Chain A
Amino acid sequence: MSRTRSTSPISRTVSRRSLLAGAGAAGAGLGLAACGGGSGGDGGTPESDPDHKDLVMTVWGGEADKIAYQARVDLAKEKFPDYTITLQLIPSENYEQKVQTMISSKTGPDIMQVAENVNVYSSKQQLVPLDDYISAAGLDMAATFGPVGENYRWDGKTYGIPDRSGAMVLYYNKDLFDAAGIEYPTADWDWDTFLDAAKALTDPAKGQFGYGGVGWWPQWFSLVAQNGGAVLDPETGAPSVNSPEAVEALQWAQDLYFTHKVAPTAVDYSNMGPEMGADGAFQQGLVAMNSTGFWAVGGNAGIEGLNWDIAPFFHGKEKAVSAFGSALVIPTAAKNPQASFEIIQFLTSAEGQTPIADLGQDVPANLELQGSDAFLDPEWLEADANLEAFPESADMIFTPKFIPEWNEMQKSVDDAMASFWLGESDAKTTADDLQSRLERVIKPSE
């Protein structure tokens, strides 16, 4: 998950992704139509051609991402002088279509960045299973990456090495807390303490809300998980969004808007200004708390006079919080997967990830680096923010099953919940409706 991918559906803002995707649509169609079907591998470890030394790595993002990835690739080149590694940065909004075209026309990259869409590729035999390489290299996934190490498994095989992984955290405006006379949030907050604070921080007269809202999937998926439910079954990926636990969590989420009125609805946001969402409203002091990813650290630090900090996300009956991350994978079309893996292994080591921390690009997935001063007390950040919140949240990260129908699931969620977040339908009706829509698009793996 990069920052440009994170547009909240509740405040359906115009994302750069959708702007450019439109422009790219026609081109993608032509490119694909011109090339035939790609061939599927047999799922085993393919042969490596040791003479193939020119490797291409595709990643998405903006200028800051380009700098960070290039710095890491430069480190890798020093480590592996025999290889030339070419970094291809593709704008986020075109990434999926672009790599789809590359893979279909058999000009796929040797190393590729993926996120929630990983199993679009792995389920269609387009990725090299890494388990043999991992055991040969003696890489301990659980110790190196924590629970996130399991994220990129599909059908009993591991397809990706986690590269970036930051939990969603709670940003809070210290000045607004001080003015309301409330203690700052801690990891001990539960739904009740959170709600009390949100109520106290809401002041309709000033147009000020206690909380930015939970309409975006990483937010309310977390609440469902905290209540002991699951939108997607962790084993099979089958939808279970109308379980009593999930419905209760959804009702609590909706009440934040319409019963307690502590969070701005989509209507409130669109009245605040164009492109306005929780991140922007937090920076303007219109919401006192906001749960989002690491990218807001840099954004908030750039706002003059904003006195803010971060804490781990609150918990319910259980601890659970979404994370935003990505992994590196090897497409089956790669000619020298052995070399690809060696480079990936380096790039995901503490040494290879250091530029992520030094440049403030994101949270490195490598736990050793996440807990080191390079990440926790970086030079790029003047503000005294408690980055400790990220490693502190690492062991409560829950990850929804990355189903191959991920994009269709997102569309169903947006469609079914549009009226819910406007207060026009209740939790049970919405959950039943969403459940039937999801059952239509998701084919459970087992």
Chain B
Amino acid sequence: MHKTLDDINALKARWMTGSGNEKACPQEWEGLDELSLLALAGQFSRIATRPVSPGDLQVRPDIPSLPLPTMPPELRPQFRRILSGKLTSPEQVVSLITARGYCVNPIDWMPKRSDVDLPRVYDSWRDWLDGNTVDAAHDVLSAETWDSFPAHSRYSELTVMHGAHSDAARGLIVKVAPSLPAEQRLRMLECLRSGLSEADKPLLETFSGDRSSKVQAFVKLQLARLGHNAVSDREASAELTDFIELQRAGMLSRRKVVRARKLKNDAQRKRRKAVLGRMSLQGISDMLDLDANDIVEMWDFGGATDEIAEVIATSGTDDQVDRFAERLVEHDTTVSQSFIDRISPAQQRVLGLRVMMKDDWRLAQTMPWFTDPDGSVPLPQADKCDALTELIALAVQTEKPAQEQAVAAALNFLGLIAAREAAASLVERLTAAGVMTVDHRLTLLRLNAAL
């Protein structure tokens, strides 16, 4: 056969240039015309030859199985449809599915190397994408195995270790972190965030003078969460009396309030912002001879609320932040996203629901409150919530394509935050109002209800 193939190659070489050895052809084919030779040569090559594989073929190991069951196959088409719709980030849908106790099928979705806000359960897939998998020999995280442990899994493991054996986790950080680059140092310290306790304070303090400003800021925030406020700037403290005052209020002047003094111009307001930016919550309370909690409770929402919210966000404890957020909602005051980000996820959901229930608020104002949607919010009955009533009315109207996108985004948002029963009930209301069951805008809500 090799001889035949050689002859055919000689034929092809002749046809390539149109001239050459006229005799070159397999012996059995001699006497045939050119077209017959072409037909035979082409067919012979197709049947008798096969592409030669390169010697350097790399086969990846199997994708690691995850500790959660894969989502039911009948729901996979809906999940794929949601991803192709591009209205919702894949991370958020994946988080919802994970919160309901399932993992996605790797055929439908795999994490990207750039994804950051993913449930930890997918770390092993991210490591697999990087070409690393957990080796049985390295399955115990320690200072010795840190470098050989897959990059994403090691931080998940450290977080778990911090929850179960916090001393061991702190010991590991002390040993390993100083020799790591700033980004990895920060990521290591971030593992302390969940389950932060007073026992972590000494460790955090050793990093308070870190050469990385990001690490410093993180440490400062964690210490503030523990109630160890940073010291305020002395000059700023002295100047603060020009801007903040303790007053008595109410009919009988029995109630004490902390309020911002009335200012005359923008220059003064700018200065107040700068001064408050250099203060901590403890610094302000010391200056007014009050407890830090008093500032949170006595703040009068007349002015400089954004600035004081920023002070509380950067130097208040978790309880102080949550309480101030509650008061903000009570006073119908809008607040910056950076402050909302600091509120604990549980409190975000409680307050977000309250915001949704307000008579004259729209759903768009509710959305920022749910930074970590997990499909657990028991939505109010649609007829008892103006925002939902309005949304249902808009969803039925098809003659206004301009608002189509906004309605779809709002329905997707609800699909992410709603508890299973709430999602099912909302789908029922929407379809009863005239939205078609197969409407693509309901896909996420329907997936939520089915999970």
Asked if chains A and B come from one complex, the reply is no
